[in-house]
Amino acid sequence: VQVTLACGTVGQELQLCKDGAARWAKKTGNTVKVFESPNLTNDRLGLYQQQLAAKSDAIDVYQLDIIWPGLLSQHFVDLKGKIPAAEVNAHFKSIIAADTVDGKLVAMPWFTDAGLLYYRTDLMKKYGYNAAPKTWTELSTMAKKIEDGEKKANSTFTGFVFQGKNYEGLTCDALEWLVSFGGGTIVDDSGKITVNNANAAKALDTAASWVKTISPAGVTTYGEEEARGIFQSGNAAFMRNWPYAWALGQSDDSKVKGKIGVAPLPSGGNGNAATLGGWNLGVSMYSKNQAAAIDLVRFLTSADEQKIRAIEGAYNPTRPALYKDQAVLKANPFFGSLLDVFTSAVARPSGPTKLKYNQVSQAFAGAVSDVLAGKTKGAAAVKKLETDLARIKGRGW
Ligand SMILES: OC[C@H]1O[C@H](O[C@H]2O[C@H](CO)[C@@H](O)[C@H](O)[C@H]2O)[C@H](O)[C@@H](O)[C@@H]1O
């Protein structure tokens, strides 16, 4: 049987996806065709929605972002009952809950993600700092001092890079700013629009103050890979990114190998916050090879495969047991020391806003983008956003 598997292509994930698929093919005698998905999750969603709306059988196994199960559930096979309960229950309960829509298990967890602060340990030492910044104010001060010093020899050096482009990644970064300032989660768990508040406005104004000071003007065009490229080539003191950037930063061709520290993102006065990300594997209802596709999902989400991906690519397992695995912890010491960051990551409001989440996220990222670009201030942006979200909500989510 031939199964087509949609894989992401950010960093090493395409290669790791192909490697895993090849191991399954070898074990079962089946073949796997890999479909290469676009880098940005927004682009991927558009493409997948087209395929699924057309009931296309071209892709059997989809890689689903943690925010999509609610949006796409009707197109996926219910894995409950098809995968033994003990196997399902070996994953974090919260992720299984996010993958379950109205009792239907839409996808199996593959890896989880949470936003982290990466920093240059060598430069911290050089500029007299002995700990990562605990607050955004500290980060600004440290980034400015390091940038001013390093710029003397390297004019392209910058203080802080993050995902500032207008896309889903900006929603993730900005949610971290909001929560860390006590500004809430845009829409709360009950579905109430909460974004129009002073702390949220302050969070956005603070982020805007970084652009063209500690962050380059171009940060408003950066996704995950642009930020990583700058940090990994030795041109930034701090970076917000997902765990995958660790393995690449520590690789032999990285200019910052052995010089990277990882810490929780700074606080804006309300503690540190990391947005929950991650990807899951679901079987299309339109697949002609559902049994083989389910077997591939079980194989790729198994402990053995998650362990390989954790060691080779720093992809966080979704199985709590692997956080006690010595080889996994050796490759990624922060999986142990920052376990709290992963287990208490903040979900985007895809649960309460259901089918309208994508519209909510686009409106939020658009508003944040305007503040970063200096087109508007935080208070005006969150006020307008509240009105826009109320329109999107209409009589209910
Ligand atoms: O960690 C690497 C992954 O980074 C992206 O996904 C993460 O960011 C998305 C926003 O840009 C977010 O929606 C998702 O939940 C996060 O896991 C990228 O899209 C993935 O391909 C990549 O593996």
CA–CA distances in Å: residue 351 to residues 26, 110, 343, 393: 38, 19, 18, 14
Angle in degrees, 0-180, between the axes of helices 168-180 and 198-210, rounded to the nearest 10? 120
Q: What is the pLDDT of residue 58?
A: 98
Whether the CB of 113 sits within 6 Å of ligand 1: yes
Q: Please report which confidence band the pLDDT of residue 385 belongs to, taking 50, 70 and 90 as the band edges.
A: very high
Q: What is the pLDDT of residue 272?
A: 96
pLDDT tens-digit series, residues 163-220: 999 999 999 999 999 999 999 999 999 999 999 999 999 999 999 999 999 999 999 9
Q: What is the pLDDT of residue 372?
A: 98
Measured distance between the N- and C-terminal CA atoms of the chain, rounded to whole angstroms: 41
Whether the CB of 10 sits within 6 Å of ligand 1: yes
Q: Of ligand 1's atoms, which has the minimum distance to the CA of residue 172?
A: 10
Cβ(33)–Cβ(18) under 8 Å? no
Length of the chain, in residues: 397
pLDDT tens-digit series, residues 209-255: 999 999 999 999 999 999 999 999 999 999 999 999 999 999 999 99
Q: What is the pLDDT of residue 120?
A: 98
Q: How many angstroms separate the alpha carbon of residue 113 from the centre of ligand 1?
A: 8
Whether the CB of 266 sits within 6 Å of ligand 1: no
Q: Of ligand 1's atoms, which has the minimum distance to the CA of residue 315?
A: 1
Q: What is the pLDDT of residue 38?
A: 94
CA 395 to chain centre: 30
- In angstroms, the CA 363 to CA 186 distance is 11
- In angstroms, the CA 365 to CA 61 distance is 29
- In angstroms, the CA 320 to CA 75 distance is 29
Q: How many angstroms separate the alpha carbon of residue 313 from the centre of ligand 1?
A: 14
Q: How many angstroms separate the alpha carbon of residue 389 from the centre of ligand 1?
A: 24
Cβ-based neighbours of 240, under 8 Å, separated by 6 or more: 115, 116, 117, 118, 160, 161, 162, 163, 173, 176, 227, 265
Q: How many angstroms separate the alpha carbon of residue 112 from the centre of ligand 1?
A: 9
Q: How many angstroms separate the alpha carbon of residue 61 from the centre of ligand 1?
A: 18
Q: Which residues of 317-354 are buried (b: 16+ CB within 10 A; e: fewer)?
A: bbbeebbebeebbebbebbeebeebbeebbbbbbbbbe
Residue 397, classified by CB atoms within 10 Å of its CB into exposed (0-12), middle (13-18) or buried (19+), is middle
Mean pLDDT of the chain, nearest integer: 98
Q: Which residues of 172-192 are buried (b: 16+ CB within 10 A; e: fewer)?
A: bbbbbbbbbbbbbbbbeeeee
Percent of the chain with pLDDT over 90: 100
Closest CA to 207 of 67, 365, 346, 390: 365
Q: How many angstroms separate the alpha carbon of residue 69 from the centre of ligand 1?
A: 15
Q: What is the pLDDT of residue 125?
A: 98
Q: How many angstroms separate the alpha carbon of residue 207 from the centre of ligand 1?
A: 21
- 3-state SS, 217-280, equals HHHHHCCHHHHHHHHHCCCEEEEEECCHHHHHHCCCCCCCCCCEEEECCCECCCCCCCEEEEEE
Counting ligand 1 atoms within 8 A of each CB, the residue from 224, 226, 364 with the most, and so the one to mutate, is 224
Closest CA to 76 of 318, 293, 300: 293
SS3 119: strand
Whether the CB of 66 sits within 6 Å of ligand 1: yes
- In angstroms, the CA 171 to CA 190 distance is 20
Counting ligand 1 atoms within 8 A of each CB, the residue from 7, 9, 10 with the most, and so the one to mutate, is 10
Q: How many angstroms separate the alpha carbon of residue 155 from the centre of ligand 1?
A: 30
Residue 226 CB: number of other CB atoms within 10 A? 16
- In angstroms, the CA 7 to CA 393 distance is 33
Q: Of ligand 1's atoms, which has the minimum distance to the CA of residue 277?
A: 15
- In angstroms, the CA 84 to CA 89 distance is 9
pLDDT tens-digit series, residues 2-43: 999 999 999 999 999 999 999 999 999 999 999 999 999 999
Q: What is the pLDDT of residue 34?
A: 98
